[in-house]
Copies of this chain bind each other. A is one copy, B any other.
Amino acid sequence: CDEPSGEGVNVFGFFQPKFEYNQNEGIDDSNTFNFNRARIGAMGSIPYDFSYYMVLETSPSKNNGTPYLLDAFVTYSRYDFARLSFGSFKSPISLELNTPCHKLHTINRSRVVEQLATPDRDRGFMVLGGADTTLFQYSLAITNGTGLFQNDDNKRKDYAARLVTNPHKNLKIGASYKFGKATAAVDGMPEDERTRYGADLQYKQGAFMLQAEYLYAKDVGSYTTGGGCGEPIEVHQGDIKRDGMFVMGMYKFQNNLQPVLKFEYFDSNKDVDSNTEYCTTYGLNYFFNDWTKIQANYVYRAEKEKEIDNDIFMLQVTVKF
């Protein structure tokens, strides 16, 4: 059928021009104008029970500036307790990963989420149920486990699940789990395994909100590092246990100013001492209107071993359409 679907196509997107000032240990500071995210896509409903969502990431600061298909899924939503999605989508683990990118309270996600809730998007099949108003919400996904760009090369799939309960109107408690096997990075070895556990909570009281999240990761055979803050991704051989968490509080004043304070740590190897990184983010958000905001973040990065100059100041405008 060449007619557009009954309810029309909605074009949507958002982009985030940013100014960033970096301390660089040993050399001069630098600053640059760049982009965080820059997305454009289409979504809509198809009577009676289908919907679709397709969005491209076009930021020059992601994927070497080459645009790519980010989320693209079709959803069958006849049953609210079991909606089915097929395509590419965010992994259903972690509170902060599942906060939409244009609604994040700090400019960057926390380091533990960037490092351990990977791949942030994957291809496969998902079942979802519940809503913000129900006692429980859940998501279950079967995915390749190889992210957006690569096909799977074996019959093993990754399994991820997230359950959120809403015991009181002010409180949400979440639990996440993920398990996957992959072809061994070393020939002749048994398959590599990746396990993730997570727990999180969100408490809202009037204009105040508190979020906290803990993630634990156990990798057998091989593991990846990097990927966050523009670092390249590296695959390493060997077993590793890692964890980290963040606690974040914010208060939105009636003049639309919202100070944010976030503490986080990330232990990049639980069998080694003195490698834990601590980050404190001092943030100030200002909401011009429902579609436009500006965020200022000062990120103080503390090293356990020996303090180095690597703090960051960022100023970012988000415009949503």
Question: Across the interface, do A60 and B149 meet the contact criterion of CB distance under 8 Å?
Answer: yes
Question: Across the interface, do B69 and A58 meet the contact criterion of CB distance under 8 Å?
Answer: yes
In the assembled complex, A231 has its CB within 8 A of some CB on chain B: no
Question: Across the interface, do A65 and B124 meet the contact criterion of CB distance under 8 Å?
Answer: no
> Which secondary structure characterizes the binding site on chain A?
strand
Question: Across the interface, do A67 and B56 meet the contact criterion of CB distance under 8 Å?
Answer: yes
Chain B residues contacting A3 (CB-CB under 8 Å) are 290
Once the chains are docked, how many angstroms separate the CA of A32 from the CA of B158?
A: 11
The smallest beta-carbon distance between A168 and chain B, in angstroms, is 25
* Contact A42:B73 (CB < 8 A) given known A33-B152, A152-B33: no
Once the chains are docked, how many angstroms separate the CA of A68 from the CA of B3?
A: 25
Chain A residues with a Cβ closer than 8 Å to the other chain, count: 69
Question: Across the interface, do B17 and A148 meet the contact criterion of CB distance under 8 Å?
Answer: no
* Contact A152:B319 (CB < 8 A) given known A67-B67, A68-B67: no
CB nearest neighbor in B for A142: B33
Question: Across the interface, do B35 and A72 meet the contact criterion of CB distance under 8 Å?
Answer: yes
Question: Across the interface, do A148 and B292 meet the contact criterion of CB distance under 8 Å?
Answer: no
Chain B residues contacting A112 (CB-CB under 8 Å) are none
